Amino acid sequence: MLRIGVVGTAVPDSFAQHIGDTLERLGHAVTMLGPARPGRGRRGGGAMAVACQLLPSLDDRAQDRLVRAARCAGCEIVISVDAQLGPGAVTRLRRDGARAAFWFPDAVANIGRQQMLIASYDAIFFKDPLLVERLRATLDLPVYYLPEACNPRWHRPAGPAGTEPFLVIAGNMYPSRVRLLNRLIEKGIPLRLYGAGFPRWLGETPAWKAHTGRQVFCEEKARIYRSAAGVLNTMHPAENGANCRLFEAAGSGAAVLTEYRPAIAELFEIGEEVLAFHDFDDLVDQAARLLGERGLTARIGDAAARRAHRDHSYDLRVASILERLS
């Protein structure tokens, strides 16, 4: 058993929560250390976060609370998924005897100040294979490719597949995604959307009217994914790897219709375990197949769940991290 700390915001279905849950199931003693900066929802948290961003020295001192918590828990390993954890805090964690790893769960466009590249991590993991290739070619850093995953505890088939005649997407709404969803609605593709909602500055659009107005997590999300004719997986334009929705929906036994990236063909059998589209016309054709071809949703979804649970679970990903740190 190892004493392991996890840095990141641990809310339902979050990256940090799944890592902590997996480590506990594997028999380790886990301390959830929280985010590197105070959350905006906490009293004074927003002002403190802005101040920390403007004043690096203040940011570094503020992260002492996290270092102290790891020390008090006797953490032998710290796994961070928070890009705002500063190099100074990482140095102090290692000085206290902890091995430290960073795993970035977002598109490369959101890498921010790239602080992880100047921190003394024992290992750094990115889900973007192109980014890893470029960094390994030029920088003397312990950088590795590690895709995201599903958590079979929650992301598993629940009930019959494809009983609801629409495509589902659960996630954030940003301009490229909303524009694509509007085009699908104009083509008559039925959608049902979940997530935090639309930023006000996007205005009311056809996609806005398809939004349920609520977020879904864990088992409920898995049931919604499984029962839909398909789960639409659009990705950030700067995404070169695969996002978490791909793995969560596949693990839930959904028929995933994903935007194509070369990395996906190495993770799933396209056409058998997931469907992929290369352009808008291809997307419309594939969506029509899912909505109209009897048995297709169940066949794709069942195969996806088998593959995701076998090859793409958090258990396997966390084991890879711990092996690198051993």
The residue extents of the domains of the chain are 3-146, 164-311
Do 3-146 and 164-311 show the same overall fold?
yes
Return all residues near 202 (Cβ < 8 A) that are at least 6 apart: 173, 175, 178, 208
Domain 164-311 sits in CATH at 3.40.50.2000
Distance CA(293)–CA(173), nearest Å, equals: 29
* Tokens, residue 164: 């609801």
Amino acid at 89: A
- Residue 39, pLDDT score: 64
pTM > 0.95:
no
Distances (CA, A) of 309 to 45, 230, 316: 38, 19, 10
- Residue 203, pLDDT score: 85
Distance CA(248)–CA(39), nearest Å, equals: 25
Amino acid at 52: C
Q: Alpha helix locations (H) across 29-145?
A: 45-54, 56-62, 64-72, 87-95, 129-138
- Residue 202, pLDDT score: 87
- Print pLDDT tens along the chain (326 aa): 999 999 999 999 999 999 999 999 999 999 999 999 876 445 545 555 555 555 565 678 889 999 999 999 999 999 999 999 999 999 999 999 999 999 999 989 899 899 999 999 999 999 999 999 999 999 999 999 999 999 999 999 999 999 999 999 999 999 999 999 999 999 999 999 999 988 889 888 999 999 999 999 999 999 999 999 999 999 999 999 999 999 999 999 999 999 999 999 999 999 999 999 999 999 999 999 999 999 999 999 999 999 999 999 999 999 999 999 99
- Residue 186, pLDDT score: 97
Nearest Cα to 231, choosing from 279, 206, 195, 262?
A: 195
Which option is the CATH number for 3-146: 3.40.50.2300, 3.20.20.60, 3.40.190.10, 3.90.380.10? 3.40.50.2300
